[in-house]
Structure 1
Amino acid sequence: MREKILIGATDLFLNYGFKSVTMDDIANKLGISKKTIYQHFDNKTKLVQASTLQLFEFISEGINHICALEKNPIEEIYSIKQFIMEHLKNEKSSPQYQLQKYYPRIFKTLKEKQFCTMQDCVTNNLNRGIQLGLYRDTIHMDFISRIYFNAMIVIKDKDLFPEDKFSMPMLMNNYLEYHLRGICTPKGLEIVTNYINSNQS
């Protein structure tokens, strides 16, 4: 039952946001009583914490699986972006922004976990890109990996990028192009341009 509650709650949180979803909403969706939820989670904060941790682990496993395929590093970045967007529902409820605003302690813990995972992933991607001649060998990898991670956090700030002006797919696509054009060699830029042109809707 605990797993069923987590899955149902996570789906609601991603669709409607951490703030607006109530324990009543979760109980109604699952066809159970609030009492049943409270038998597994003391309060909503505990449920949000468990939900975000489970989602983080699921996303991390997916990213690790994509990295294990050892695709072209540029294609790998876009594959990870696609995977994350699909499983975070295109972030239409701004989950990260709401988490930061209403559950700052949970956000801080999650951000630290995300940083460790992304640091390894991005550094490996940069190394392979340099080895294949797709990224410039003069880039400062630690700097780039940290900028990459923090920019991914910043573009989800709805105060800075209001939803009526910036959709999440638009922000992600523009940021990835910005990132890649800053580190690619001419050979890499050709792949980026071809990828963008072939995936334009």
Structure 2
Amino acid sequence: MARLLRALGRLPFRAVPGRAVRCRADSGGLRARSGPGDAGSLTKRGPTLSKSEWQKKLTPEQFHVTREKGTEPPFSGIYLNNKESGMYHCVCCDSPLFSSWSVVNVWHSSEKKYCSGTGWPSFSEAHGTSGSDESNTGILRRVDTSLGPARMEVVCKQCEAHLGHVFPDGPGPAGQRFCINSVALTFKPRKR
């Protein structure tokens, strides 16, 4: 998967037919519709809130990042230097997204949350990942060309909140760096 992402990052971006996510307005606010074969079809949608309902529920910064695809300033997030073991949840719908505890098995030991030096909390994989299979995670990946070159956006599978981006320059074995906005997360310490 990491090799594929690296190879895709070097290619000029062209739209892939049938992979676009289209939005339409309805009485409940914006709701994504997925094209054929789009990973968005895996979304477990709950009730959709309107823009004004999201603005009431979230702080202005949380709203800007999660609902308007913004970003917090680097090195400003409350979870950047958090070293406590626990689970990071979506600030909008409370879905579990990333864990910070170590994985130890016969082959290696790795921290899922690590210091990448980029200014945002970084994770090597989403909670629920099994090898390269992310079907049991709380996230979806979407192509983002808003700044020109194609990047991979990370959104909450439950409520489609923008969380950040994933890059192919992280630690092994998968080589991924999930660069996530602190303001899009809530942290729940691990019970001992």
Same fold per TM (> 0.5)?
no
Q: TM class by shorter-chain length?
A: under 0.3
So what's the TM-score if we normalise by structure 1? 0.26
Q: Which has the larger radius of gyration?
A: 1
TM-score using structure 2 length: 0.27
